[in-house]
Structure 1
């Protein structure tokens, strides 16, 4: 019998947000609201639709393996050399490439926990050890929801090749601020690569939360990871990118990419999205305004909701998580539960969020599902 590696056999399956059509069919309603996957509710940008229509006529050809047009556009946007930029099939693929590039068995990857759920899986596949540093309360008396950067720096040892700092943090939405992050970066040994995972950077409204690219400059062991899946509305096309201060880091990651993994359509869409930045900013402003409304509404219901800097909010409901998420889904609202810890709720349209709030009120009042 052919067997996979033990580390692979032990991997838990990744669980994406459920399909709303499936949920609606199961419970016998016309429509379910999906607030589980941190997608933006806006349709694709008009320029993206046009770019896809044009590129579709050439899909009998392989895409540009180096995504040269997109790489140059990103380099110009962020004032870096193209040699510092790597594109990939979503940010998560670049995370995997980083682990492949820098981790051998016997090395380690350090990160806060809870954070992006793929970090420990990446370590497991690479045969590396996970160093998980617990989150701490971001405010007195609050739940553990924020990076403890001092403890994270102290946990780094001679085996640590990679450190991920998810800022804003997924799934709690909290963010670390400039002084703490600068102290952390200065404390990490030069031989350890720090990756600032900024998948939700475009939704940050706190001026004290730094742009990772600013802190990257002059630090050869720092790289910044971002994505087109969230604010730019390209979740279905899978495009992410890494910018490294040291071009050698970018080159190492580039060597582990799957050939042609950024499709022709994805590259065309990403380039068109970059050219539509004004519209993207308007959409992000609408999301953050709705985030504030949703946060206020949840606090009015006596829920302990931290200030989020992402396009989702975190409900730290602990042992009630599974029951609450199941009850919401029975009312056609799909959220993302993390068993025993809390529920992540994507900021949807005002109408979708009102459906969620009504369902939440029904659950908390003990109303039966029709």
Structure 2
């Protein structure tokens, strides 16, 4: 019988991944046809027209290149990094899983930040590791002193995203230098830069900063956000050396990045201008709506991403239902200490205005309830 089957306890006890609601499901639940999907940090402007042209040449009857040679060559030229240090994945999420498989052993320790990206906890735990979470400061900044203390215990891996997902804040040059200095030789630093393209000019390039260091590292980046390829799933890892890259490559599945995704990623890289223009539009909207949110008296950390992390003053699940009833999908944050926060993606101006109006109504509703009580 099924209940007598012995399951892997590491997997059976994993927390669920907090994914954004699908638009079709949102329409069904809300009864509304117009939905602003602002939960999954997609690029609201889509992808470069070059991508559609490239996909027209796709032959789906042939296997994709398992080594992603053309895409790795293109990334090598863009990043000025040897292609032998680049591993391409089915989204950077697959690279997180592959890193864990390549490095961790049962009962290893992994350190990460809270609030943080769920897979920085889920994948290590799936591999039998203990995960230690390092809280950010009360104003949701990186706590470098606490990080340094945790790193003195020499965890096998330290995961951090900069800019932070879900907070949006990024390490500055001094903080990144302090972090690199604190990483022991026994620890692999996994530096997740999924939102790198949305950073301002003062934010350091993690890949360049780490290039001159003596530590072991993996830098993660993706085509899902700025390049608008979320539906095709393409991410990549840049390892500190070829031996580490080979271990990560061995830990992934063969043919892991499909042919359409590889074609699309190369085409997107060949149209950096389109990406830069769309990112600039997103940043302008981010700054506009951040100002509106702050004017409502709500706590909102500074963001270097295409999303905002907002303390809405009530349980995030209640807030989620409120926004859905107004045709807006947001992401309610589930980590216990941050249950009053939501994460909202910067969308098109009309979508952002819909969100702001729903937020205003939520704040008014909460104020009325407080008076009534």
Give CA-to-partner distance per residue, 1:315-340, whole Å, 9 cap, x none. Answer: 02364322222211121111001141
In 2, are the aligned partners of 1:203 and 1:309 still within 8 Å (CA)?
yes
Pair 1:135-2:136 in alignment: yes
Kindly state the Cα deviation for residue 154 of structure 1 after the two structures are TM-superposed.
Answer: 1.4
Alignment of 1:36 with 2:66, yes or no, is: no
Kept in 2, the 8 Å contact 1:112–1:148? The answer is no
CA distance in 2, matches of 1:186, 1:158: 14
Match of 2:354 in 1: 355
Equivalent in the alignment of 1:208: 202
What residue in structure 1 maps to residue 10 of structure 2?
Answer: 7
2:67 is matched with: 66
The answer to whether the 8 Å contact 2:154/2:186 transfers is no
Do the aligned residues in 1 keep the contact of 2:85 with 2:240 (CA within 8 Å)? yes
CA distance in 1 between counterparts of 2:330 and 2:31 reads: 18
Partner SS for 2:232: coil
Instruction: Note the alpha carbon deviations across 1:159-212, whole angstroms, 9 max, x for none.
Output: 51111120000001111111111111112111211111000000001x332101
Q: Which residue of 1 aligns with 2:110?
A: 109
> In the TM superposition, what is the alpha-carbon distance from 1:2 to its structure 2 partner?
1.8
Structure 1 residues without counterparts, runs of 5 or longer: 138-142
Q: What TM-score comes out, normalization by structure 2 length?
A: 0.93
How far did 1:44 drift?
2.5
TM-score under structure 1 length normalisation: 0.93
1:140 is matched with which residue? none
Greater shift after overlay, 214-223 or 189-198? 214-223
Gaps spanning 5+ residues in structure 2: where?
369-373
Taking the aligned partners of 1:155 and 1:365, their CA distance within structure 2 comes to: 42
Aligned to 1:291: 286
1:98-247 paired onto structure 2 within 5 Å? 98-137=99-138, 143=139, 145-157=140-152, 160-205=155-200, 207-219=201-213, 220-247=215-242
Q: Secondary structure at the match of 1:160?
A: coil
Higher mean alpha-carbon deviation, 2-11 vs 21-30, is at: 21-30
Deviations 1:40-77 (A, max 9, x none): 1113311000111111xx21111100000000100111
The SS at the match of 1:31 is coil
Q: Aligned partners of 1:158, 1:132: CA distance in 2, in Å?
A: 13
Provide the C-alpha distance between the structure 2 equivalents of 1:32 and 1:239, rounded to a whole number of angstroms: 26
Give me the whole-angstrom Cα distance separating, in 2, the residues matched to 1:121 and 1:165: 14
* Maintained 8 Å contact 1:149/1:181: no
Corresponding residue SS for 1:343? strand
Deviation at 1:158, TM superposition (A): 5.1
Report whether the alignment pairs 1:337 with 2:338: no
CA distance in 1, matches of 2:233, 2:288: 30
Do the aligned partners of residues 106 and 189 (structure 1) sit closer, same or farther apart at CA in structure 2, a change above 3 Å counting? same
**Tell me, what secondary structure is at the counterpart of 2:88?**
strand
* Pairwise CA RMSD: 1.6
Aligned residues: 359
Matched with 2:371 is none
